[in-house]
């Protein structure tokens, strides 16, 4: 019995040592740095009414014979489009890691204002269309929770924030105020600092000793507020006329209120040598995207 008990104890101790070594090996295998690159396409999730463009409400209006025959609100989100990026991750254990990525996003073009008429040139009603497109460079720190590896797959969930560090909304407008006259101009709107929310579900799959592919479904949502606006291009019948625009026509500062001290025609005679004051506007950027990429573990 003594020999049996000793053998039993030795077997238990050996089994414990093997399990411990296996766990340590797995921990060592999954701890440390990794780097990844990927591309995504996001679809619009939440559509909200677009802000006014140059004082024009986000409406699609149709006039026939000088009479308004239809009108509807224009809604949408600038969360739809392509994104490219990459980053680094430090994995503390089999089940926990931190990521930091840098991403460049370019939204699909969205119509924000549109007016159509068969009688252009009456001074009020004319053909007009304004299309917006967003470009943004952002940082996304996230926490990653791994669910365990099986047959090369390692599913995970992650949650974090999006912090845009650069970008702008570009709005291109074309109009026919009179027969034979075409006006086209481009406005660039810079945003105030903001932050948003991101969460994702995904999995990696090993294709080599240190290389894996990954796929994830990501949801993100944030709102940006305009800081200022600049008209960067202005043509009439294809001729550059930007130099003829006053400072008030080319530049705008956004604010949350207007009053008697504002450089705005509703309250004062506009000083053409200074930027115009306009009320702040917001645009939503929400989207659900599929990301595919490569990951390299050091």
Q: Which of 279, 228, 284, 286 is nearest to 52 (CA)?
A: 279
Cα–Cα dist 189/191, whole Å: 7
Average pLDDT taken over every residue of the chain:
87
The residue extents of the domains of the chain are 31-297
Residues 6+ apart with CB under 8 A from 165: 137, 138, 139
Cα–Cα dist 265/279, whole Å: 12
Q: What is the predicted pLDDT for the residue at 46?
A: 82
pTM: 0.83
Residue 29 binned pLDDT confidence (cut-offs 50, 70, 90): low
CA distances from 172 to 10, 167, 182 (A): 78, 16, 13
Read off φ and ψ for residue 162, nearest 5 degrees. -115, 130
pLDDT in tens, 79-123: 999 999 999 999 999 999 999 999 999 999 999 999 998 865 555
Whether 83 contacts 289, CB under 8 Å? yes
Fold that domain 31-297 belongs to in CATH? Porin (2.40.160)
What token pair was written down for 101? Answer: 């990525």
pLDDT in tens, 228-240: 999 999 999 999 9
Whether 77 contacts 71, CB under 8 Å? no
Of all helices (H) and strands (E), which one includes residue 11?
Answer: helix 2-30
Residues 6+ apart with CB under 8 A from 16: none
Residue 56 binned pLDDT confidence (cut-offs 50, 70, 90): confident
Radius of gyration of the chain from Cα atoms? 28
Cα–Cα dist 35/88, whole Å: 4
Q: What is the predicted pLDDT for the residue at 124?
A: 58
Average pLDDT over residues 56-80: 90
Question: 3-class DSSP state for residue 188?
Answer: strand
pLDDT in tens, 38-52: 999 999 988 888 888
pLDDT in tens, 130-151: 999 999 999 999 999 999 989 8
CA distances from 254 to 44, 134, 233, 251 (A): 27, 18, 20, 10
Cα–Cα dist 110/174, whole Å: 14
């Amino acid at each position: 019995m003594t020999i049996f008990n000793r053998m039993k104890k030795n077997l238990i101790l050996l089994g414990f040592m093997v399990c411990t070594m296996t766990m340590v090996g797995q921990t060592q295998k999954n701890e440390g740095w990794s780097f990844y690159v990927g591309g995504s396409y996001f679809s619009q999730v939440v559509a909200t009414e677009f802000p006014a463009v140059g004082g024009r409400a986000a409406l699609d209006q149709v006039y026939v014979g000088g009479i308004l025959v239809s009108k509807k609100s224009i809604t949408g989100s600038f969360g739809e489009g392509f994104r490219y990026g990459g980053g680094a991750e430090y994995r503390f254990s089999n089940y926990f890691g931190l990521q930091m990525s840098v991403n460049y996003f370019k939204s699909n073009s969205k119509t924000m204002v549109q007016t159509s008429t068969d009688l252009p040139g009456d001074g009020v009603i004319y053909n007009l269309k304004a299309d917006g497109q967003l470009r943004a460079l952002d940082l996304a720190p996230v926490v990653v929770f791994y669910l365990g590896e099986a047959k090369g797959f390692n599913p995970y969930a992650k949650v974090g924030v999006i912090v845009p560090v650069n970008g702008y909304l570009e709005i291109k407008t074309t109009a026919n105020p009179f027969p034979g006259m075409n006006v086209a101009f481009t406005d660039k709107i810079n945003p105030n600092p903001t932050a948003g929310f991101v969460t994702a579900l995904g999995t990696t799959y090993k294709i080599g000793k240190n290389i894996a592919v990954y796929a994830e479904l990501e949801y993100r949502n944030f709102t940006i507020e305009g800081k200022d606006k600049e008209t960067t291009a202005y043509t009439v019948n294809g001729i550059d006329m930007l130099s003829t625009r006053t400072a008030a026509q080319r530049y705008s500062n956004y604010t949350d209120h207007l009053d008697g001290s504002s450089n705005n025609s509703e309250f004062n005679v506009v000083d053409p040598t200074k930027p115009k004051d306009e009320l702040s506007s917001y645009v939503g950027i929400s989207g659900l995207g599929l990301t595919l990429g490569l990951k390299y573990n050091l």
